Amino acid sequence: MQTGRVESSLPGHRDVIRKLAFAADGGRLLSLSYDGRFKSWDVASGKESVGFSALDDVKRPILTFALSPDGRDMALSRLHETDGRVEIWDVAAGALRATCRGAGGEVHALAFSQDGGVLASCGSDLALRFWDPKTGRSSGVLEGPMGWIRTLDFSADGRWMATSCVPDEVRLRRVGLPRRHVAPATANAEGGPSRRADAA
């Protein structure tokens, strides 16, 4: 940690910033405000990039987004779109590559698995959905008492999912991702497999 002083300020949004994410190489910063406007910034110059101008549609404001761990893919949902749609964008090209078609409702939460091979989404239909981000095809759905999920995340080994639910709960679930998306169990000090706690 060096001085911690502010090196630059990035003006341009007209509402409160609701989400920030650095691209994998650290050279680009993505920002989203509550009015649904999305911006991309060059970190070195502090100037706004035009790489994502195609997705920043005033008539279709963005609700939330998620970057894949390698920074190659970005998933996003839009405000007031009630068909459960999630768009997958190619970050390098700044182009739409695939669309995931949900059952209905706005999508409020998005997360990639650590290998980027699975995308999870949840919205006002209260179902937890899994997608192949390369094709936009469904990889499965969990329905039931999910609650109103505001944010979610995969564990690093892909075996767990954490979700935040209204009003004040964090829930842990075991998820059965395909084996290719799950990291092998690590060894403990005695050379055996690590022991993992079960979800409450």
Please give the average per-residue pLDDT across 111-127, as a whole number: 91
Distance CA 115, CA 181 (A): 6
CB 62 within 8 A of CB 85: no
Pairing of β 128-131 and β 119-123: antiparallel
Query: Model pTM?
Result: 0.78
DSSP string, 6-54: --------SS-EEEEEE-TTSSEEEEEETTS-EEEEETTT-PEE-TTTT
CB 94 within 8 A of CB 52: yes
- Domains assigned to the chain: 17-181 (2.130.10.10)
What confidence tens digit (pLDDT) does each residue in 131-190 have?
A: 999 999 999 888 766 778 888 999 988 888 899 877 778 888 888 765 555 455 444 434
Find tokens 């920074």 and name the residue.
Answer: 71
Residues in the chain, total: 200
Which pLDDT score, from 0 to 100, does residue 200 have?
32
